[in-house]
A and B are shown apart, each in its own frame.
Chain A
Amino acid sequence: MRIDKTHKPWLVISVALLVLGLILYIVYAVGAPGGPRGGSALGLTFGIIGYAMMLYAGALGARKKVPTWRLGKTKTWMRGHLWLGLISLPIILFHAGFSWRGPLTAIMMWLFFIVIISGVLGAAIQHFVPSMMTTRVPMETIYEEIPHVRKQLCDEADQLVVAVCGPLKGETPAEAEEVTGSDQPVAAATALLVDIEQEDRMRFREIYLTKVRPYLEDPEKPNAELASPRRSAEVFDSLRRLLVPQVRGVLDDLENICEEEHQLSRQIRIYRWLHGWLLVHVPLSIALLVLGGVHAVIALRY
């Protein structure tokens, strides 16, 4: 959700509500003999309004579960979630008189702070990070499709190398030589598109199997040499110098594949930023709403 001038009406209403609440609270706090209390009429009113706002904010999750229901546009719910959720904190503080005495209320307030902070952080992330994703991941794909795309990239790289070196079956160059046959230019089933010496072919194959393929097989492995775009560029530059000119086209393609892998890794990282905060925000919000309900029942009944 981008917070721009279209949020102005919500901002105005929220500020107005807040100011109104603050005035009422000040009048009430100054006039109350024992200080402000949640159980007083106004304190209770603040509590009911605050909890209603929290429930409304929490209802966004439920609203999203039934996207086909015509209960108002989801973007309106989202804006309400943001602004009413935000001002529910001061309203609840007015309800509590800025003090929390029992352990339940203390826990709830701590939870509330965490929920609000995580929410504000999330709103900030969702304001800024989508642009970053757009500019930094031009080859973005659907998040759930990433493993499939990665497999395709790995297969594509294999095919490119097979066209130069023949089958990749052997683990070591010697075994590969056995597979391709040192005298035979190619295994019968494979048409080599690049005509180079057998020795160069074996060297290229070895470099691919030891440097590039491990990265393509597990791009998220920590400390993978090609995982860093800068290091990857250096490696490919050195490979261009090391290997015969005929394979440069294939090297360019492999470098492009690695670049796409970098972008996919970046997409995963940004995606986690975009949605990772929800892992804190959502369960704690639910816990808060449940505890709020418990608090209301206990406070009113006992």
Chain B
Amino acid sequence: MAEVHLTIDGMPVTVPEGTTVFDAARMNGIPIPTLCHQQNETPAGVCRVCVVDVGGRVLAASCVRPAENNMKVSTNSDKVIGARRTLVEMLMADHPVPCARQKHSGDCELETLARVEGITQSRFPRRLSPRGQDNSSLVIAVDHEACILCDRCIRGCDEIRHNDVLGRRGKGFMAGIAFDHNQPMGNSNCVSCGECMVSCPTGALTNKSVVKTVLPGEPVDVEDLLQLTYFQKVSGTFLELNKNAIVRRHFKKGEIVCREGEYGSTAFYIVEGQAQVYLATPMAHVKTQGGASGFLSNLTSRLVGRQQARREEEGDRRSIPIDAPVDLPYDNPVATLGPGDLFGEMTCMSLYPRSATVRAATDCVMLEMLRNVLDIIQRNKTLKAQLDANYKKRALDDHLRSVPMFSTLSPEFIDVLRHKVELVRYGKGDVICRQGDIADSFYLVRMGFVKVSEPHPGGELVLAYLGRGGYFGEIGLLGEGRRTATCTALDHVELVRIHAEEFQQMVEQFPEVRRNLEHLAYERTEQNRQRLATATSIPLDSFLAQGLMEAQSLLVMDLERCTRCDQCVRACADAHDGVTRLVREGQRFDKFLVATSCRHCRDPLCMVGCPVGSIRRRNSLEVIIEDWCIGCGMCARNCPYGNINMHPFEVMEQDPAAPARQIAVTKHKATSCDLCTEHAEPTCVYACPHDAAHRVEPNEFFRWLKEPSQTEARH
């Protein structure tokens, strides 16, 4: 190879032809500061900090300027130093000091360079319009304020990892880095390999440290992690930063991995062995009835299954949705998970309670991980494909059949769907479809919660919350071809997307499915119309602000009649085995008290987050808690009005210490006011001796407030 001879700062230097001035200087021990250049990336010459004087009209960026024969290079002349200082000052003018990286590890390259150059304050004014932050990714924080547009991240993403997610957006003053078509990072196709973060010279891309506690288990070396398929394309440095967020766990046969109802923050990936996933809570609901000694005894509450006491409109599901790749059969809620299965995703991503108990069926090795690592592997294309394939192979069938109206689909058609459906993921707050969009798909909720809403003059009107097993999109596909509502992901959501073409094929081939869907679409449209009409007919802001118009039935006490004897509370407790479902406290409106008792809200927040989807509404919109409630208390915590109670029961369970022995353990079932539906009037109202307690619809209550004479009429 030909050589070139040049002089750098008076030192004669010989380098192979094609070498840049920057590399020539570096190879001969002459440092040239730079920000945008890294040895493993193609030089771009965008920061110009590496300028040198080669005797030309202007200073040259040494990282891109090839060395030439007889070239005389000066790296530290006054002109060069002055230009470099000015450049650094200009970059520092916009830079938050200290940036996140400087704060955490003290190695922001720009701030280090500024310190070396003796720059403490920039002469240039700060940019007035903020460039903002992007916290949508679970693992990487993006601070556009700290970005110096060096493009190192872009080259890392494109050249090193070949992911082609990062690029530039805008021009001049508006320029910045962008993910895909300027999506938030968390919503983009970023695979969380961490290369951009490792490449970034400043605090513009930093690791989100979510590891505050040490996970129990065996630490996993980065080298070991890199051996696993789904970590192979992840930056080693990035894994090093996150290695405390993943551990290897060994479970002996019979050992409990996690229990239903417990709160956790980790997911498990089975490497070896098999695990049994099951529900330990009895498959039953709370039924209140006369005691064994007959009429004169107090009422008692018992746990009964739907076989013994079927309630009106009780669900007919044959399977129970859980936070795992499989559903559990209602009759025998047990399933087996094996190598390659991932479970606990909802707990990990959205901090929901565990939906089932998992026990090692054989000796098992599992990886337990926090959500930053889960996010990395979920974004890994290989693993994602593997998990999706597992789901389509094992769970799609059950999932579709768990929806009553799809129970008639033939196995052949499900096989066709298996290859056509797409699994799509959405982050918290992502809009899945907007009202008015073209209806191009039908969706089944596989994981997470979706809010269905309509814009409304007073704000957004929530039409429904859909959890696992819920579905939407049929109204648009069967109707005018446009979305009739906006659907938004409330947390980490995974959906099974059936494209319009397959959907049409399905409804043509299976007329019963079509009939059911059309009937449902009609019912939903009608309910939505009624709800909208109710909400628009009430002008009183405070009434709306208290959420009263969201209610369907309010327990109202007339405080001018109520003697505070608490007969209503005692009656409720007596009717429910000593656990009252009402508290005589709440918001006051004029002389009325809206007592704390289930309002059967139109916007039932209690239903968001149920890890097994056991709380839902009847068609009459009353709340019903299905038999597979695991007693985690999520609904009770989510109810903004404190109207859901946890009813304790003693049940016999196998003693983990001595499997042959049965021990009594306390399990809970969620209960809410059921309006004593078996009677004509709720017991609290029936038992009030002073005619002070009433169950009313919000509209009627509103009329009472406006026209007190209406109250008299009621009495």
Contacts and interface: CB of A to CB of B under 8 A. Distances in A.
Interface of A: 1-2, 4-6, 60, 64, 66-70, 73-75, 77-78, 126, 129-131, 133-134, 138, 141-143, 271, 274-275
Nearest to B685: A73
Contact of B562 (A68, A77, A130, A275): A130
A73 B560 contact: no
B689 A77 contact: yes
A64 to B, nearest CB: 6
Contacts of B561: 1-2, 130
Contact of B683 (A67, A129, A138): A67
28 contacts: A1-B563, A2-B560, A6-B691, A60-B689, A64-B567, A64-B687, A66-B574, A67-B567, A67-B571, A67-B687, A68-B299, A68-B574, A68-B575, A69-B295, A70-B686, A73-B686, A74-B688, A75-B691, A77-B689, A78-B689, A78-B690, A126-B563, A130-B564, A131-B559, A131-B560, A133-B564, A134-B560, A275-B563
Contact of B690 (A5, A69, A75): A75
A246 to B, nearest CB: 34
B162 interface: no
Given A6-B715, A67-B567, A74 B583 contact: no
A53 B259 CA distance: 61
Contacts of A67: 567, 570-571, 574-575, 683, 686-687
**Residue of B299, B559, B591, B679 with most chain A CB atoms under a 10 A cut-off:** B559
B484 to A, nearest CB: 45
Given A1-B561, A1-B691, A134-B559, A74 B567 contact: yes
Contacts of B688: 74-75
Contacts of B687: 64, 67-68, 74
Contact of A274 (B295, B560, B563): B563
A251 B588 CA distance: 28
B585 interface: yes
B575 to A, nearest CB: 5
B583 A70 contact: no
Contacts of B564: 130, 133, 143, 271, 274
B331 interface: no
Nearest to A143: B564
A126 B558 CA distance: 13
B584 interface: yes
Contacts of A73: 681, 686
B690 A126 contact: yes
Nearest 7 Cβ contacts at the A-B interface: A67-B571, A67-B687, A78-B689, A134-B559, A75-B691, A74-B689, A1-B690
Given A134-B560, A142-B585, A274-B563, A2 B679 contact: no
A18 to B, nearest CB: 24
B416 interface: no
Nearest to B683: A68
Given A68-B299, A70-B686, A74-B686, A4 B715 contact: yes
Interface string B535-570: 000000000000000000000000111111111001
B683 A134 contact: no
Interface string B560-599: 1111111100110011000000011100100100000000
Nearest to A278: B565
B224 interface: no
A130 B562 CA distance: 6
A275 B567 CA distance: 13
Contacts of B295: 69
B292 to A, nearest CB: 16
A271 B687 CA distance: 20
Nearest to B298: A68
Given A4-B715, A69-B295, 13 more contacts: A2-B690, A2-B691, A5-B712, A6-B691, A6-B712, A68-B574, A75-B691, A130-B559, A130-B564, A131-B560, A133-B564, A143-B566, A274-B564
Contact of A1 (B571, B686, B689): B689
A278 to B, nearest CB: 9
Contacts of B566: 142-143
A176 B570 CA distance: 48
Nearest to A74: B689
Nearest to B569: A142
A60 to B, nearest CB: 7
Contact of B591 (A6, A69, A134, A275): A134
Nearest to A81: B689
A271 B712 CA distance: 25
Contacts of B584: 142
A2 B295 CA distance: 32
A133 B559 contact: yes
B585 to A, nearest CB: 6
A274 B566 CA distance: 13
B512 to A, nearest CB: 43
Nearest to B676: A68
A68 B683 CA distance: 6
A2 B690 CA distance: 7
A6 B689 CA distance: 14
Contacts of A60: 689
A130 B574 contact: no
Given A67-B567, A131-B560, A142-B583, A4 B689 contact: no
A48 B567 CA distance: 31
A68 B687 CA distance: 7
Contacts of B686: 67, 70, 73-74
Nearest to A78: B689
Contacts of A141: 585
Nearest to B684: A67
Contacts of A64: 567, 687, 689
Nearest to A267: B564
Contacts of A5: 712
A60 B687 CA distance: 11
A217 B253 CA distance: 58
A259 to B, nearest CB: 17
B13 to A, nearest CB: 62
Nearest to A122: B563
B293 to A, nearest CB: 14
Nearest to B588: A138
A64 B571 CA distance: 9
**Residue of A67, A75, A130 with most chain B CB atoms under a 10 A cut-off:** A67
Contacts of B681: 73
A231 B137 CA distance: 60
Contacts of B585: 141-142
**Residue of A5, A69, A274 with most chain B CB atoms under a 10 A cut-off:** A69
Interface in B335-354: none
Interface string B669-689: 000000000010101001111
A260 B131 CA distance: 49
Contacts of B588: 138
**Residue of B295, B563, B567 with most chain A CB atoms under a 10 A cut-off:** B563
